[in-house]
Structure 1
Amino acid sequence: MKNKLMLSLCVVGAVTLSGCTTVADMAGADTASLNVAATQGFNKTVQEARGNNTLDTSSSTYKRIYSVFTRLKPYADQMNQTGTKFDWQLAVLKSDQVNAYVAPGGKVVFYTGIVNKLNLTDAEIAAVMGHEMIHALEEHAKNKIGAQALTDLALGIGLSYAGDSVGQLGAAAAQLGTQVGVGLPYSRSLESRADQGGLMLMAKAGYNPQAAITLWEKMNKLDGAGGSSFLSTHPSNSQRIDAMRKNLPAAQAVYNKR
């Protein structure tokens, strides 16, 4: 029984990376549906922020973020291979949170804290913005939905093979196995892809990709040593820096040609 359980997890884990987008489509999370839902969520976020006076539309920080956003947009559109034109929109929220995120279809949310606490340059803002835009352009939200569906399938198959004999401890172990074996490494893979694509996007827009390195060096100082990423959806800061240094020459060549 144990062998069958582990086999079922491994088989599904092996097809996760190649089949997630198709699985998401089958689950009803197609590009158009996700973009509509994201737009609704984004509009609600903006409305609530406006209502509690946390929507920033005029500060110097907002103006810098918006300037980077508009400069990157045409190059992001050139990289769009989804078959759907994005309606890029930006919301800047007044908050000390060191964070930014993107929703499907190009809805970007920036917190002022990431700029102010890290004292980011415009090029470092572009590194964050480029990273988030790549998440949207490569439809990573859709991929993660597909990955989760496959993870759930793996767990269901494994537990059905094992039957009652797996017990409570066995079920918990199976859940942990699918999370660590399928879910979290896949999320870290998406983060790495966004880092790499973000380097190219910022370089095309005329921002020196070296700024992506200094961005994460600042993150390291804020967060500490970075620690282990074994049970994290994100690579450690040190891992990100090492990977970006390897990808930097290609992005630097694009930047130098401008």
Structure 2
Amino acid sequence: MKLNHYALLFSSLLTVTLTGNAQSNAQQEGVKVGEMSIMRKLAPTGALEGQAATQYAQTMRAAEQKNALGQANHPQVIRLRAIADKLIPHALKWNERAKQWKWEVNLIGSKQVNAYCMPGGKIAFYSGILDTLKLTDDEVAMVMGHEIAHALREHGAERAGKAVAANIGVKLVELWAGAKGYDPNLAGGLAGGAAKFGMLAFSREDETEADIVGLDIAARAGYDPRAGVALWQKMGIVSKGAPPQWLSTHPAGKTRIAEIQRHFPEVMPLYARAKGVSISALPPYQTNVKGIAPVVYSAK
């Protein structure tokens, strides 16, 4: 009975996941992505947002105690919040819950090359990512749009749900192995390894989706999507020695650049409209680091 129970539950989870991911949204312009994974339902979003708000507040208090929290009049804080104010209105359509979020944007003084947006719209940038990459406003918008997209698409809840499903799968294998007279620990270990690599792939898919949705949000807000190419060229310069793509939760830089370029036809018209010009009138995107060529796009 126990084996059949796990098998039925795992089969149901797999079926609804494939069905949910096969659906497409009804957007008429901009990027197209599938519906959010049904797996996020296994981890209550409201609970995650509450936990995120608590953790975020604790992080900000800790930074303040170390005199590392950017004050409201800090130039970079003003800059980050101004960019967020332009992005957020274009983010709301991606998730109805976002209209009720209490958005926050803060800067933490640290050498970390990092930024994030927690469930519920809690955004943090580390000064290291601004300073190390010498980010332009367009490039900040690419990073911020990407991080906001993670929250909008509820990737945290999705990953938690997939972890639950993976654990059920491992348990099924252990029960099956025991029933057949095999070593359940060995079988479970092999299944766990396979599940781990599967979770890496899921994470890479989430990162790609966040790149795409972030491009759409930033373009509508008047930020140049071509800055995404320059951003990942900069990131490649500072992240040499990163693990190969198949062992990483993030796609390789070249893969991300190719994916961003693939979606130019969808987002460049949005950017041109936001700027009030035709695509042909847009100058190439030129970043502020020597050695990175201007990024061009010509509509066909």
- The two structures have a TM-score, normalised by structure 2, of 0.76
Counterparts of 1:205 and 1:24 in 2: how far apart (Å)? 28
Counterparts of 2:117 and 2:98 in 1: how far apart (Å)? 19
Q: For 1:60, give the aligned amino acid.
A: P
Q: Residue deviations 1:161-209, cap 9 Å, x none?
A: 011613654432221111113x111111111000000000000100011
Counterparts of 1:223 and 1:56 in 2: how far apart (Å)? 26
Q: Structure 2 vs 1, CA of residues 194 and 214 (structure 1 numbering), >3 Å: closer, same or farther?
A: same
Give the superposition deviation at 1:109.
1.2
Give the superposition deviation at 1:80.
2.6
Q: Please name the residue that 1:166 is paired with.
A: 183
Conserved in 1, the CA contact under 8 Å of 2:177 and 2:187? no
Counterparts of 2:17 and 2:197 in 1: how far apart (Å)? 13
Give the superposition deviation at 1:90.
1.2
Aligned CA RMSD, in angstroms, stands at 2.4
Is residue 2:193 matched to residue 1:187?
A: no
Q: Please name the residue that 1:121 is paired with.
A: 136
Tell me which of 247, 251, 275 is aligned to 1:231. 247
Is residue 2:48 matched to residue 1:31?
A: no
Conserved in 2, the CA contact under 8 Å of 1:226 and 1:237? no
Q: Please name the residue that 1:250 is paired with.
A: 266
Q: For 1:49, give the aligned amino acid.
A: A
Secondary structure of the structure 1 residue equivalent to 2:233: helix
Q: Please name the residue that 1:97 is paired with.
A: 112
Question: Where in structure 2 are the equivalents of 1:37-76 lying within 5 Å?
Answer: 37-57=51-71, 58-76=73-91
Tell me which of 196, 217, 221 is aligned to 1:205. 221
Percentage of matched positions with identical amino acids: 32
Conserved in 2, the CA contact under 8 Å of 1:21 and 1:142? no
Conserved in 2, the CA contact under 8 Å of 1:135 and 1:194? yes
Q: For 1:33, give the aligned amino acid.
A: A
Counterparts of 1:93 and 1:103 in 2: how far apart (Å)? 15
Secondary structure of the structure 2 residue equivalent to 1:207: coil
Is residue 2:149 matched to residue 1:134?
A: yes
Q: Please name the residue that 2:277 is paired with.
A: none
Between Structure 1 and Structure 2, whose CA radius of gyration is higher?
A: 2
Q: Please name the residue that 1:148 is paired with.
A: 163
Q: Which moved more, 1:63-72 or 1:202-211?
A: 63-72
More helix by share: 1
Q: Residue deviations 1:32-79, cap 9 Å, x none?
A: 221111111111111111111111124333322222112212212243
Counterparts of 2:108 and 2:44 in 1: how far apart (Å)? 29
Q: Please name the residue that 1:106 is paired with.
A: 121
Q: For 1:176, give the aligned amino acid.
A: G
Secondary structure of the structure 2 residue equivalent to 1:90: strand
Conserved in 1, the CA contact under 8 Å of 2:173 and 2:188? no
Gaps of 5+ in 2: 1-6, 22-35, 275-300
Aligned length in residues: 248
Secondary structure of the structure 1 residue equivalent to 2:224: coil
Q: Residue deviations 1:136-156, cap 9 Å, x none?
A: 111111111111111111111
Counterparts of 2:120 and 2:45 in 1: how far apart (Å)? 8
Secondary structure of the structure 2 residue equivalent to 1:109: strand
Gaps of 5+ in 1: 1-6
Is residue 2:201 matched to residue 1:175?
A: no
Counterparts of 1:74 and 1:207 in 2: how far apart (Å)? 14
Q: Structure 2 vs 1, CA of residues 94 and 227 (structure 1 numbering), >3 Å: closer, same or farther?
A: same
Q: Please name the residue that 2:286 is paired with.
A: none
